[in-house]
Structures are given as C-alpha cells and as structure tokens.
Amino acid sequence: MGIISQFEERCLVIGVLSTMQNEDSVISLLESNWGPVSCRTESVPFSFTDYYDEEMGSRPVRFFLVFENFVSPDDLASIKIETNSIEEKFAVSKNRRINLDPGLLDLGSLILASTKYGSHRIPLRDGIFAETTLIYHTHSFHTLPWTYADYGSPQFISLFNELRTEFKRQRNLISRKESIQQ
C-alpha cells in the first residue's frame, strides 16, 4: 500500500489572451487572489487561430503571468473558477475581452485547467478539468497530441523551459531555508 502524502506546491502560471488596452486592473485582481506577479512576459499577437477574434472583438495578444507564491495542485479548480469570474467582470455585452488560462508548472509538466471536457482531461470538481499540456523530458518541454499550437510553439517551449529553471532554483532555495530552520 502506498503512503498518502501532501502534493508539492507548484508555480502558478496564467496564460492571458487580451484585447484590452490596459490589463492592469485584471492583474491587480489576480494579485489580490494569489499574490504578486513575479514575471509578465511580452505581449505577442495571437496568430495561431482566429477562434477568439469574433468573441473578443479583434485579434488578441498572448502573454503569461507567473506568480511569486507557489500554490497547491488542490487549488487548481478554485483558481479556474475565480479566473472565469474575473473574465465575466471585464466582459462587454457578454463577450470576453480577457481570457485567463491558469496552469501549474513543475519540474515534469505544465497542467492547465479547463471547463471543456475531453477524453484526455481529468475531472477535478465543479465542472473543472485538468489537462497535462506539456511534459518535460530529454532536457526540454514537449507537446502532446492535444497541446494548443501556441503552447507548443518554439517561442513558448523556450519560455516554459526558462520558467522551469527558475522554479527549480526557487524550490531549492526554499528547501535550503527549511533545512536551516530545522
């Protein structure tokens, strides 16, 4: 019989699609929930599909927010529910201007939360699913058959590799501090 243990906390990363002129008020709300953003990537045009253009009113930009505080995987469903609520607050005539995709990054994977069912998605609770979007092996993140095109782009694979390196560094610092305190 296996021994049940607590999940290790992970790095909270939120993928943002936006047609807003200024996302500061959205970021402020996110920070009030999950603490300071340690990194905001550059905004790049979202040119992988036109899926969001009609709803969002124009071609969105994509950027990622990385949070300073780690979170428990237990919290992923709650985070997705709250980010959906934030999307609704900024909607215009029920059309989103901001799309927030929370995920958890660790040394082995990037897991995203979703409200959409798929055979590869695992139900968490309250209509929220989890999906392993990228896996890490042979010194890099790699896509899976269902990985969104932008997450699998060389630019974003490189970004997630950098974020993984920083996560590993921070986790090691925390471990050293905890061992000194004991």
What is the 3-state composition of the chain as percent helix, strand, coil, each rounded to the nearest 5?
35, 35, 35
Q: Which amino acid is at 126?
A: D
Return the SS3 of 64.
strand
H/E stretch holding 178 reads helix 154-181
SS3 88: helix
Residue-wise pLDDT tens for the chain (182 aa)?
A: 899 999 999 999 999 999 998 999 999 999 999 999 999 999 999 988 899 999 999 999 999 999 999 999 999 999 999 999 999 999 999 899 999 999 999 999 999 999 999 999 999 999 999 999 999 999 999 999 999 999 999 999 999 999 999 999 999 888 777 767 76
C-alpha span between 45 and 172 (Å, rounded): 35
The 8-class DSSP code of residue 106 comes to -
Measured CA to CA in angstroms, residue 72 lies from 9, 12, 17 at distances of 4, 9, 24
Q: Distance (Å, rounded) from C-alpha 87 to C-alpha 90?
A: 6
Residue 182 is predicted with a pLDDT of 64
Q: How far apart (Å, rounded) are the C-alpha atoms in residues 102 and 86?
A: 12
**Rounded CA gap, 114 and 97, in Å?**
18
Phi, psi of 107 (to 5 degrees): -70, -20
* Calpha distance 20→95 (Å, rounded): 12
Burial 3-33, CB ≥16 within 10 A → b, else e: eeeeeebbbbbbbbbbbbeebeebbebbeee
